[in-house]
Structure 1
Amino acid sequence: MLCWIVCCLIWLISAFNGSCSEVPPVNNSVFVGKETENQILGIYLCIKGYHLVGKQSWVFDLSKEWNASVPECHMGHCPDPVLENGKTSSSGPVNASDKIMFECNDGYVLKGSNWSQCLEDHTWAPPFPVCKSRDCEPPGAPVHGYFEGGTFTSGSVVTYDCEDGYDLVGTQTLQCIDGEWNSSYPTCESIQEAPKPAEQTALEKAILSFQESKDLCSATENFVGRLKEGGVTMEELKYSLEMKKIKLKADILLKGHS
């Protein structure tokens, strides 16, 4: 039968008289748990004015000697506030409801709330901010593109360009502002060449040559010469002219009904 154990609810584990000697003592805490076959399962709770450093939940094997480190209860209702690359207004152990302020070192900018408060559950809210460098990471470069500019400190500007045959799409210049680039970098898209005009047929070239000649004799000679160059036979010429005539008649009739 499971037996619930509540050890040291009115006095500290450090003052054990032997009734809970199987559980490693932790100063300024109480241990609440339950006993199963050859095991004790439970948690350490720090008394008011202290906070837990380490793992809270534990399973102790009564058949083996315990040699691992257990948690500790440090003075202060909440863990000591630490702000990397910055400082806090805290000057000692923190009590419940205490508020602290945050400030970053020179060259860093605060990201998040500039204050936090110690809660009854030993946590801080809002979460601690971070101090981020005012300098930027190197910006990305688009495929088939590149940027010019070798410094990425706050206020620095880089300029983008594309390889030959590609057009820049987006912002050409980016500026580093308090550790972040003010825009995403552009892309380089392939330049689409204008479609080439359809090549003229031998008959079209011959007709154009006929139209450009000033007298009938020259026009006829140029026309026949073009046909021979293009390898157009007289039968093909007659067929093409008949088809053009039919198309012209159809166009005239359609215009008359419109």
Structure 2
Amino acid sequence: MLCWIVCYLIWLISALDGSCSELPPVDNSVFVGNETDEQILGIYLCIKGYHLVGKQSLVFDRSKEWNASLPECHLGHCPDPVLEHGKISSSGPVNASDKITFECNDSYVLKGSNWSQCLEDHTWAPPFPICRSRDCEPPGALVHGYFEGETFTSGSVVTYYCEDGYDLVGTQMLQCIDGEWNSSYPTCESIQETPKPAEQSALEKAILAFQESNDLCSATENFVRRLKEGGLTMEEVKFSLEIKKTKLKTDILLKYHS
């Protein structure tokens, strides 16, 4: 601060002895100058409660003319607040520490803080909110699916469906609430078919029929009946049994030598 005062006094003495032109006045400001060999560099500082509009630094050279237009000190400490599709409590200049409030127009909803304060560093905090439409954007389309619903205004509902062969995973009905869908979109996933159990051969069915009866005669009759129902002859049965016998021997030998 002392340096600024000394610099200003040097500039003032130069002005009084006629070597400088009169100091250009700027209301509600303080001028600080710094003299060099060929020129004087000056800056304007607005007093508390005002903010500078225009170029702050000015240079006085040998032509004794200022090289820039003068700035102005405007009442108010922060940039004018703006809220699209809404209203602000203040309509005039805002000073440091002043607070303002926000309100959205009908059919819009406020997203963010409903108030803000002008700080000493010429900024607003919290940041200004936005007014978002209460209507929703069209919902997303599904791969292998579709939705039913033609309006997306606040309160409207859309319903999702999947194509044949696909299952819906997630919320089927979505509702528009204050500009946002109340749930994430579902998905359509392919239906996994359950594998069918392997069918028993005619011989296996005949063997099971044989085992179901404790009486040997009844068991034999059941066995023969099942063979006939399956269309098997005794020769085919004998051949199948020989194959099973050979396989059993092979499995036993492999297990014994392993």
Question: Pick from 207, 220, 225: which aligns with 1:219?
Answer: 225
Residue segments in structure 2 that go unaligned for 5+ positions in a row: 10-14, 62-66, 213-218, 252-258
- 2:136, 2:112 → 1: CA distance? 18
What is the CA distance between 1:73 and its match in structure 2? 5.2
TM alignment of 1:180-219, pairs within 5 A: 180-201=180-201, 203-204=203-204, 207=207, 215=221, 219=225
**Superposition pairs for residues 125-144 of structure 1, below 5 Å?**
125-144=125-144
Q: CA deviation at 1:32?
A: 8.1
- Residues 13-32 of structure 1, C-alpha deviation per residue, up to 9 Å, x if partnerless? xxxx79999xxx99866788
* C-alpha contact (below 8 Å) 1:136/1:152 kept by paired residues: yes
Q: Which whole-Å CA distance do the structure 1 matches of 2:157 and 2:196 have between them?
A: 41
Classify the secondary structure of the residue corresponding to 1:226: coil
Give yes or no for contact 1:138–1:152 (8 Å, CA) kept in 2: yes
Contact 1:211 1:219 in 2 (8 A): no
Look up the match of 1:118: 118
Q: Deviations over 1:177-233 (max 9, x none)?
A: 1111111111111111110221434633564788999947963872894258xx947
Identity %: 74
How many angstroms does 1:236 deviate by?
A: 3.7
SS at match of 2:232: helix
Could you tell me how far apart the structure 2 residues matched to 1:152 and 1:158 are?
A: 8
Is the contact between residue 206 and residue 226 of structure 1 (CA under 8 Å) also seen in structure 2?
no
CA distance 1:34–1:106, change in 2 (3 Å): farther
Matched, 1:92 2:92: yes
Q: CA deviation at 1:115?
A: 1.3
State TM-score, norm by structure 2.
Answer: 0.64
How many equivalent pairs are there? 228
Deviation at 1:47, TM superposition (A): 4.0
Q: 1:71, 1:29 → 2: CA distance?
A: 10
The one-letter code matched in structure 2 to 1:177 is I
Q: Whole-Å Cα distance in 2 between the matches of residues 182 and 157 of structure 1?
A: 10
1:176 maps to 2:182:
no
Unaligned runs of 5+ in 1: 12-16, 248-258
Q: Distance in 2 between matches of 1:20 and 1:207?
A: 125
Deviates more, 1:188-197 or 1:41-50: 41-50
Shift of 1:103: 0.8
Answer with 1 or 2: which has the greater Rg. Answer: 2
- For residues 57-115 of structure 1, give each alpha carbon's deviation from its aligned partner in whole angstroms, at most 9, with x where no partner exists: x9x9x9xxxx9999875431111111111011112111111111111111111112111
Equivalent residue runs for 1:1-258 within 5 Å: 46-52=46-52, 74-201=74-201, 203-204=203-204, 207=207, 215=221, 219=225, 222=228, 225-227=231-233, 232=236, 234-240=238-244
Distance 1:42 1:165, change over 3 A: farther
Contact map agreement 2:85 2:105 (CA 8 A) in 1: yes
Is the CA contact 2:202–2:227 (under 8 Å) kept in the aligned structure 1? no
CA distance in structure 2 between the partners assigned to 1:143 and 1:182 by the alignment: 20
Q: TM-score scaled to structure 1, two decimals?
A: 0.64
Give the 3-state SS of the residue equivalent to 2:87 in structure 1.
strand
Q: Distance in 2 between matches of 1:240 and 1:75?
A: 104
Pairwise CA RMSD: 5.0
Residue type at the aligned position of 2:189: E
